[in-house]
Chains A and B, each alone.
Chain A
Amino acid sequence: MQLRVRALETVLAEKGYIDPAALDLIIEAYETKIGPHNGARVVAKAWSDPGFRRALLDDGSKAIASLGLINRVGDHLIAVENTPKRHNMIVCTLCSCYPWEVLGLPPVWYKSAPYRSRAVSDPRGVLADFGVTLPSDTDIRVWDSTAETRFIVLPMRPSGTEGWGEDKLATLVTRDCMIGTGLPKNPREAA
Chain B
Amino acid sequence: MTDGIHDMGGMHGFGKVEPEENEPVFHAPWEARTLALNRALGYTGIWTIDQTRAGIERLPPDVYLTSSYYKKWAVRLENLLVELGLVGADELKAAHALRPGKELKRKLTAADVPKSLSRGSFSRPAQAAARFKPGDRVRTRIIHPATHTRLPRYARGRTGIIEALRGCHVFPDTVAIGKGENPQWLYTVLFEGRELWGEDTDPTLKVSIEAFEPYLEPA
The interface of chain A, by Cβ under 8 A from chain B, is 1-2, 4-12, 14-19, 21-27, 29-31, 34-35, 70-76, 93-96, 100-101, 104-105, 107-109, 111-124, 126, 129-130, 136-150, 176, 181
Cross-chain pair count, CB within 8 angstroms: 266
Q: Is the interface of A mostly helix, strand, loop or mixed?
A: mixed
B78 at interface, CB cutoff 8 A = yes
Contact A121 B196 (CB under 8 A): yes
Q: Which of A22, A76, A130 contacts B108 (CB 8 A)?
A: A22
CA distance A133 to B20 in the complex (A): 19
Contact A18 B209 (CB under 8 A): no
CA distance A120 to B154 in the complex (A): 9
The contact string, 1 if C-beta is below 8 Å from chain A, for chain B 1-33, is: 000001111111011111110010111111011
Distance in angstroms from A148 CB to nearest chain B CB is: 4
Q: In the complex, which residues of chain A have a beta carbon less than 8 angstroms from the beta carbon of B65?
A: 113
CA distance A11 to B131 in the complex (A): 49
B177 at interface, CB cutoff 8 A = no
Q: Which of B44, B151, B206 contacts A146 (CB 8 A)?
A: B151
Contact B96 A22 (CB under 8 A): no
Sample of 10 more A-B contacts, CB < 8 Å, known A18-B107, A26-B36: A1-B70, A8-B37, A17-B86, A30-B35, A74-B121, A94-B6, A101-B118, A108-B23, A112-B17, A114-B18
CA distance A130 to B21 in the complex (A): 11
Q: A7-B92, A105-B35, A140-B206 are in contact. Are A75 and B121 (CB under 8 A)?
A: yes
Which residue of the partner chain B has the closest CB to A21? Answer: B110
Q: In the complex, which residues of chain B have a beta carbon less than 8 angstroms from the beta carbon of A35?
A: 25
* A–B pairs, 20, beta carbons within 8 Å: A5-B34, A5-B74, A8-B77, A16-B100, A24-B110, A25-B113, A27-B33, A27-B36, A75-B121, A93-B154, A95-B53, A107-B19, A109-B19, A109-B20, A129-B16, A141-B206, A146-B152, A149-B186, A150-B119, A181-B17
Distance in angstroms from B214 CB to nearest chain A CB is: 13
The contact string, 1 if C-beta is below 8 Å from chain A, for chain B 89-123, is: 00110011101111010011110111011111111
Q: A22-B110, A71-B117, A114-B16 are in contact. Are A76 and B167 (CB under 8 A)?
A: yes
Q: In the complex, which residues of chain B have a beta carbon less than 8 angstroms from the beta carbon of A70?
A: 114, 117
Distance in angstroms from B19 CB to nearest chain A CB is: 5
B207 at interface, CB cutoff 8 A = yes
B208 at interface, CB cutoff 8 A = yes
Q: A117-B10, A149-B210 are in contact. Are A27 and B92 (CB under 8 A)?
A: no
B150 at interface, CB cutoff 8 A = yes
Contact B25 A19 (CB under 8 A): no
Contact B113 A141 (CB under 8 A): no
Q: Which of A116, A143, A147 contacts B9 (CB 8 A)?
A: A116
Q: In the complex, which residues of chain A have a beta carbon less than 8 angstroms from the beta carbon of B102?
A: 15
Q: In the complex, which residues of chain A have a beta carbon less than 8 angstroms from the beta carbon of B162?
A: none
CA distance A126 to B16 in the complex (A): 7
Distance in angstroms from B199 CB to nearest chain A CB is: 14
Q: In the complex, which residues of chain B have a beta carbon less than 8 angstroms from the beta carbon of A176?
A: 19
Contact A115 B17 (CB under 8 A): yes
B87 at interface, CB cutoff 8 A = yes
Contact B23 A144 (CB under 8 A): no
Contact A94 B108 (CB under 8 A): no
The contact string, 1 if C-beta is below 8 Å from chain A, for chain B 150-165, is: 1110110000000000
Q: A2-B29, A22-B108, A93-B152 are in contact. Are A142 and B210 (CB under 8 A)?
A: no
